[in-house]
Structure 1
Amino acid sequence: MIRRVKLVNFLSHRETEISFGEGLTVFIGRNGAGKSSVVDAIVYALYGQHTRGQNANIVHDGGRAQEGRVELDFELNGKLYRVVRRFDGKGNLKEASIREDGKLLATSERGVDRRVSDTVSGLLGMNYERMRSSVVIQQGEVDAILRADPKELKELFDDLLGLSTFEQAYSRMKDVLDGFEERIRIKVRRSPDDLMLVEEELEKCRKLLTEGKAKADELEKELAKLKDEHREIGERISRLEGLLQLHNEVRSSIEALRGIVRRELANLEDKVGKIERAMKALALREEVERRITRIDELRVEIFRLEEKERSLQKQLKEIEEELKRLPSGAGAKSIEELRLEARTRAERLRDDAVELGKAVALGAETSELADRVGQDVEGVVDLVSEVHESALASRAAELAAKRDAIKTEIEETKRRKKEADREIYELGTINGQDVQRLRNEVLTAEQILRDVGGEPGVSALKARLEGLKERSSRLEKVKLPLELDVSELQALAEVLPADAKELLDRIRTGIMRLRDEKLGPEDVIQLEHLRLMRDELSREIGGKEKELEKLREDVQRAEKEIGELEKVRDVLRKAKEFRDLMRKVRDLVYHREGPVLRSLRGWVYERVSERAREYLDAFDSPISDVRIEEERTGKGSRVVFRCFYQAREVSWERLSGGEKVVLALALRLAIGDVLGAQRLGFFVLDEPTVHLDAEKRRRLRDVLMRLGRKMPQVIVITHDEEVFEGAEARVLRFEMERGATKVSEVKSSRG
């Protein structure tokens, strides 16, 4: 329902604002007063289109205005919408916007007008042409519905019914179904149309699975039989292999016994050899002991001589160091000569001193005497020095003599030590053997003799050696374990060490078991034959097991494939059922020519026809009936009006001008009442009284008044002011004043 419209510099309106209420509103005024401009403004605000030709024609005052605008407020489904369009002085769009309860929904700018228009079309459910055909009936367009192409009429009804939405749903449903099928193909790599193929594959797989299981069962029975035979042969082989293993173990044990016997023989022979060598060594025992004793004495002597030599060397070193400090003593006087000369000089000094004393006492000249006494003193001093030097020279001579004696003694010591070393060397070997080694051999021989018990022990040892040699000879001749006499084992136990007892018992036990089992050479041949049989069975079992494994894999693969195919089948079955159902729904419900929409259109045609008949009756028209029907054609369908005049069907073209207008008005009002206007809440008629006589005009007024009471809002534009005098309506007068439209409300009564 329209709430407000404002026109600024639009056609004849400089600035006009009109508020609308419910019920019937009538615009009156002379032609050219600007009544229809309001309708143009409403349509222009909604769709950006009008009936005035080019956009330059919409600008007020011949285009001298700088800009203009149209504002429209309308209410739909409880929400208030405002559309604003601004245009420049040439009628070009500057900007457009639509808001819902103050919230911006869309805007359009210069050169791009579709966004706002498309938003309006989506809200109202009809475009500009459908609005003009069903809700806004402009001047001169009343009877255009009668001249319309039948196919266009059908499209008009489809659009008014909102069937374009169904058509879009029909198209989108195809996209949805195509997408659904694509998702199914992606999910299971099959199309719903492949359901039959999948079921055939499933049946084939089930057949292969049944055959595979039957073959597997048969093969399992064959395998069980082969495995039983293989187990029996294996048990026989195990028994023979056990005996052969025992045979080989006994042979190995006998070989080990031979090794023990050989080692024991070597040990006894070594012992006997050692004893014989010990006996020979004992024959040299006295000579060896004598030589060892003498060698020990000589070594003691050599040690003493070495100590003496070290002492003499030390004395010699000390003398030579002292001699280095003493003068050589060459030309020195002897001590006796020096003693005589000392006595002479002492006496002279005494005499000269006495003389000097006397002279001093007498007071005589003393200088000569003093000089002589001084010379005497110096002579005594020189003599003392000479005596010291003579004493040192005498010491040096003494040390030199001692040094020479020591050197002679050292040489003698070395000579004696050399003689002792030569004697030790001569005593150190007997017949080319080291005497110390011979002494050790003697000691060892004595110990050996003690260990074997002396002479009796030696005899027993030799007897044991001979006995072991004899038994070893018989043992070496044994080729197979069964050739060995177990009594020999007892005899060997008596001559072998105690640790050989366990081996002997093992050999004895093994031989007795082999004799009990009666293992013979033919058993070896039989064992080889059984092994070949077992190997052949193993290969056959292996082949059968591989074959069975492959069959089981095939069965598992078939079961898996069956499971997957069953899942695919279930998915495809449900998908096909769903798709087929949706296709059926699509064709039946959403297709324009489907039964649901045809039924809906038929119901609407009937309702519109009923309402048209009611309006015809209100006009007291001689047209007795009008029917809107849909006819099938080769390429679809079309809508036709069937008109009945006094119970006879006639073509509407045979009607008079007034009757055509009445018929057209009845149809327009019925369509608007049933479809367009009732849904949008308003209905507009521009100059509907043209070609109507006075009675028809009066009746039209009554019809519009009733329509105004039923419909939220009806707007009528007319220049027949007298028709609506006293009508239950709001009347607005349009007049031209100073080149612009002026709108004023006419006071009239309302019922």
Structure 2
Amino acid sequence: MRIEKLIVKDFRSHSLTKVNFTSGINLIIGQNGSGKSSLLDALLVGLYWPSKPKDLRKEEVLRAGGKSTEITVFFEKDGVKYQLHRNITRGMAFAKYYDGSSWKHATETSQKAVRDWMERLVPYDVFLNAIYIRQGEIDAILESDESREKVVRQVLGLEKYENAYRNLLEVRKEIERRIKSTEDYLKSTENLDELIVEMERELSNALKEINELSPQIPKLEKELEGVERKLKELDALEKEINSLRLEVKEREGNRKRLETKLEELEKRIAEGRQRLHELEDRVKEFQRLKEKAELYLRLSDFRRRYVDEKARNEKLAENYRAQISAIEERLKELSELEKRLRGLEKERDKLERKLKGLEKDARAYEDARSLSSQLEDLRKRLKLSRGEIEKFIEEIEDAKKRKEEIQAELNEINGERGGLKNLARERNRAIMELKKAKGKCPVCGRELTEKHRKEIIAKYQAELKDVSQSLKELDERERELRSELVKIEKILKRERELIRQKELLDQIAELEERLKGYDLEELRKKAEEYEGVKDELSRLEGELESTKAELEKAKALEKKRTITGEKLRLIEERLRKLDEELKEMGFSEIGELDEKLAELEPSYKRYLELRNSEEEFEREKSNLDRLKLELEEVKSSLDAESRALKERMDELSKKEKLYSMEEHEKTREAFASLREELAGKKAQLEALERKRDETMENLRKLKEERERRKEKAKELEELKKARDRVQELREKVRRYKAMLKEGALAKVGEIASEIFEELTEEKYSGVTVKAEENKIRLGVIYNGKERGLGFLSGGERIALGLAFRLALSLYLAGEISLLILDEPTPYLDDERRRRLVDIMQRYLRKIPQVIVVSHDEELKDAADRVIRVSLENGVSVVKEVELGV
């Protein structure tokens, strides 16, 4: 897999970012918080959303102020180009592949379909464990032997073998379960042949009984049909007689009810006439009291309104008078504040003049403090004295001269080696020709004798031996020179740091010289006085502002007093009008009105008692008319019911003469007996036929079961063979996993040793990796002895963790084409970061594409392509950096 392009929109701090990736080492660099690691998160989200990564949620990825989070990843795998797009906010996604002429959809356009497709192409666990080295993974390696073992299992893919080992156990258990089930089945079906013979005998008996019973049923059916016809005739006559009897009884009841209702209606009409006469007297009394009741209501309403409005307005008037009094008191207080304001303004002018005089000294003190802080910072960064720097510079100059000498000598060695190899080829070719030659010698042209042949071959072989010895000596000298060259390179790598240290010394001297021109103690006193005056002036200005604000309130208070006075006048006018209205009603005070209301109250209460009398009179009159009409209808119904009753009684007498209950009962008994006998015969026949069918079906199943039993016996033998094969395969998987882990850890240990030696300047001569049950122990070789992690310093522990994790990925370099490193340099010191550059150049180039995210500028020296991320106005901006800049 190789990443070609990443396009991110409204993701965290990225508004619209496009990043192109090439083969080789791609470095994404920027300060912390600039948004560089967000690009890796966007890559994970783009490839595996929504189920992975689990620690990211939709609401966390949308940029503040953004509208829609979108991610597009272009990548190549196994020679095919792919494009994967997701709109996280809208829940949309698609995956496409390029067929050489156009882009075509690889799966359905949904988040789940695209996620499942990507999991099949590159599983998430493979991507996260083999391809992507996260920030916290180095710490996990160092945390414990158990956590280190977990990382190794994930990266090397050992879990799939462990899963296979466990799954094969489950397969074996399933096979054993099926063997047990099959054996139980065969044991339970041993007597099948005996059951089949018994079933065939039962079938023969059932067929014989069916043939004897079948002719009897039609005879019984014909006899039952004649009895049933006669029974139906008698049933119909009985039903008709019963119906007439019921109707006669019902009509007799109806006639009695109508006679009772007639008496009741005549009684209710007499009572209604008496009630109507009483209601007529109540209506006349109600009309006489109507005028007094209306006067009572009018006076009562006026009194309620008069009392409510007077009480409310008198309360408002009292409130307005209190407000006016308070306002006048406040205005008197504000007149005193004007004198205070003039005094504060004079004091402020005095402090401003003093502050202006101290301002220059305060600025000078701040400048001196800034220079002192810079000087302190530079001194902390300084690690060497000027004498040490000059000494190291001399060493570096000597190293440069010696490097040139070594390079010249190596060139001479290469030339000399080439001449010796050419001579060796010539002598070997001559020996081959001599061995084949006949007649004349191919070397000197003389007659070739066997003695002469042997002499020349011996001579050339001696020369080849001398050439071989010379080549060995040249190789040994080259190894010595290259070993010396490695040490010289270590010295030359310090040149950049020495230049920085020299620049620091020059800056320190310049700052010390500038600080001599300041009297820091005097300036400090002036600065403190300046701050004191500044605080006092700030307090005074605050008091001035509050005093002015208070004086501004005077105008508002005068306006409020005028408005409140006008409101009071209106309230008093309303109270006067209420008293005038009382007099217009004919009362000089409220007490007279109360006396009048007490006088009218009894008439009003009687009026209320009689207010429904008119409606009751009309209702009673209407009810009486209705009762009279109902009386006439009942008389008419009673006559009709009497005539109908006589007709039904005559008809019933005729039907009873035609019916005999004794004959009816005999016919019913004969019908029941025949029907019961017929039903028994039919039930017996059905039972026999059902038994026949069941026996035939059971017989068929038993014969099929007999054939199935033969197949099960064969299947049992195959299952036993399969169980043995699964157990054998399970053992092979266990042995292969152990061999793979042992071999992989040995190779990883070799690679980690090389990297760790370089990171620690060859202080340690190797790394030991030992696998135990659920543990992987790490150690180092120091002075020929193995040491534990507790022997290492903090920086060395980090270097070892980084070396071990890089070794895991480099072990897989032949299987993976992409490696992603997220911040590989945290906690590494300057020297180890510089060494990491060399390691990346030598080792990581074995992997076709590497993407590194870091804030360390030094890693640019190892990169083929540099992408810088910065934060501008809260938005991440991505720019490509030219190498060497």
Question: Shorter chain as normaliser: what TM range?
Answer: 0.3 to 0.5
Rg larger for: 1
TM-score normalized by structure 2? Answer: 0.35
- Tell me: higher relative CO, structure 1 or 2? Use CA pairs within 8 A at least 6 residues apart: 2
TM-score normalized by structure 1? Answer: 0.41
User: Where is the strand percentage greater, Structure 1 or Structure 2?
Assistant: 1
